[in-house]
Amino acid sequence: MSAAAGLTGLTLAGALAGLRARQFSAEEITRAHIAAIEAARPLNAFVLETPDKALEMARGSDARIAAGEAGPLEGAPIGIKDLFCTRGVRSTAASRILGEFIPPYESTVTANLWRDGAVMLGKLNMDEFAMGSSNETSAFGPVINPWRSAGSNRALTPGGSSGGSAAAVAADLVLAATATDTGGSIRQPAAFTGTVGIKPTYGRCSRWGVVAFASSLDQAGPIARTVEDAAILLKSMSGHDRKDSTSLPIEVPDFPAFVGRSPKGLRIGVPKEYRAPGMPAEIETLWAQGIAWLKDAGCEVVEVSLPHTRYALPAYYIIAPAEASSNLARYDGMRYGLRVAAPGLNGVYEETRAAGFGAEVQRRILIGAYVLSAGYYDAYYLKAQKVRRRIADDFATAFEGVDALLTPTAPSAAFGLGDNTADPVAMYLNDIFTVTVNLAGLPAISVPGGLDAGGLPLGLQLIGRALDEGTLFTLAGALEQAAAFRARPARWW
């Protein structure tokens, strides 16, 4: 193994320790990652590489380390999902309609990361406007999962919408990455790539400067190699922001301090409604194994009921498109991004939006406009909001008797690119275990638990009480230790 390969294979925690100990410089580890990114272009994980900016930031980090002024993430090269606006760096949400948009401002989450010394390697690919479960709706083409099924060269999805973030972490192109989760877009890609992803409590991370999909559901979070790494990155990403009215005015806990604590005595609920019909035996087996691991760690495991679970997916696919149709009305070709010339103002609007939005985004805008229309608002949107309230109440009742819930993350391992593109409902079913958490605003984390028969990663999901990410990190650390997941994708790119 070359020295450069050794640097890209470090955990975030390991890299930060090495930087502080002066075992290598920020510039050296950044150059190693830049080389890895260049060699991994077949994965299509990045929509924009920023090597010059990364080296400039790394040199600044080296100067601060030398002066004894290092921040918590000083010198750590990371990737940024292209949903986060970055000042002076093109930000497109993987859509043609934003064109070459270069924001004159920085999202609060990324500003927090640069404040703490992180280094930006570039912008990561994603489903267009975060709408998708396979990263196939991106205007830049699909991301390819670095994992391959045993004996097959078939291209697999890394999951979505944060597919670029998950693939980049799994392929050792970045130490960690930012991501966002509206209905499972952090946790499902983490499960598909053998990485760790946490969606924090709604309001834990500011949404200011993050391109909106569904404002009451969107939440930023990290994807990383280990539970500890996810805790480190989330600590820097979090914090109150007066520019975001949904940002919670609370102190940020020391998330890494929760990793490694004993979960002994915690009560874990297993929702009986999550035993979906037709669920693969491998998912059932992994779930049972997760239960056994937590019991061995000293937890008490009990069955709980979340009776409105079966209504979560239809409610989500009414609420999310409704909010998207409102949020995406601003993209009209007038102030920024793509503009298609056409006769009359309405003609410009129509032609610009038809050319700028991909098929899945158009589908969701149409669904959203339909469920918000005068004749159908009560029948669909209002009813979905009532169901959402019931789902939140189910969780509140369950958490009266347990400290966290354990479920599978996704109903399968990574599937082939193109498998579900002809059937939107089949694609939407990938979110069956994850959307409830967004509807209720709760935190949840996905941890790799094992491999399927083809050698592909499978994830376990822990769901916690609002603002109780600390307990999730403790439990996730216990699962990580018990699973001892060391598998890595065999390099083919």
The active-site residue, picked from 81, 123, 199, 235, is: 81
Dihedral angle, C-alpha 386, 387, 390, 396, nearest 10 °: -110
Has 446 been annotated as catalytic? no
* pLDDT tens per residue, range 219-243: 999 999 999 999 999 999 999 999 9
Question: How far is CA 52 from its chain centroid?
Answer: 26
Report in angstroms the alpha-carbon separations of 227 from 190, 257, 409.
12, 11, 15
What is the sign, positive or negative, of the torsion defined by CA atoms of 244, 246, 247, 251? positive
In this predicted structure, the answer to whether residue 1 has a pLDDT above a threshold of 50 is: no
Mean per-residue pLDDT, 298-307: 98
pLDDT > 90 fraction of the chain, expressed in percent and rounded = 95
Q: Position 185: which residue type? A: S
The answer to whether 293 and 478 are in contact (CB under 8 A) is yes
Q: Which residue, 438, 435, 419, is CA-closest to 427?
A: 419
Q: Is 151 exposed, middle or buried (0-12, 13-18, 19+ CB in 10 A)?
A: exposed
Separation CA 185–CA 290 (nearest Å): 22
DSSP 362-387: HHHHHHHHHHTSTTTIIIIIIHHHHH
Mean per-residue pLDDT, 328-343: 94
Q: Which residue, 42, 148, 133, is CA-closest to 488?
A: 148
Task: Tell me the pLDDT band of 338, cut-offs 50, 70 and 90.
Answer: very high
Question: How far is CA 122 from its chain centroid?
Answer: 16
Mean per-residue pLDDT, 252-272: 98
* pLDDT tens per residue, range 420-456: 877 887 787 888 999 999 999 999 999 999 999 999 9
Has 185 been annotated as catalytic? yes
DSSP 46-104: EEEE-HHHHHHHHHHHHHHHHTT---TTTT-EEEEETTB-BTTB---TT-GGGTT---S
The active-site residue, picked from 91, 138, 149, 185, is: 185
* pLDDT tens per residue, range 168-219: 999 999 999 999 999 999 999 999 999 999 999 999 999 999 999 999 999 9
The answer to whether 332 and 355 are in contact (CB under 8 A) is no
Return the structure tokens found at 304.
């709980």
Has 81 been annotated as catalytic? yes
* pLDDT tens per residue, range 43-75: 999 999 999 999 999 999 999 999 999 999 999
Exposure pattern of 239-270 as b/e (b: 16+ CB <10 Å)? bebeebeebbeeebbebbebbeeebeebebbb
Q: What is the pLDDT of residue 299?
A: 98
The active-site residue, picked from 138, 161, 206, 238, is: 161
Separation CA 34–CA 272 (nearest Å): 46
pLDDT > 70 fraction of the chain, expressed in percent and rounded = 99
Q: What is the pLDDT of residue 5?
A: 64
Instruction: State the pTM of this model.
Output: 0.97
Separation CA 327–CA 129 (nearest Å): 10
Residues with Cβ within 8 Å of 421's Cβ and at least 6 positions away in sequence, in order, are 134, 136, 427
Q: What is the pLDDT of residue 2?
A: 52
407: helix, coil or strand? strand
Residues with Cβ within 8 Å of 236's Cβ and at least 6 positions away in sequence, in order, are 72, 73, 112, 113, 115, 116, 118
Q: Which CATH number fits domain 3-260: 3.30.465.10, 3.90.1300.10, 3.20.20.150, 3.60.20.10?
A: 3.90.1300.10
Q: What is the pLDDT of residue 289?
A: 98
Separation CA 170–CA 192 (nearest Å): 10
Separation CA 46–CA 177 (nearest Å): 12
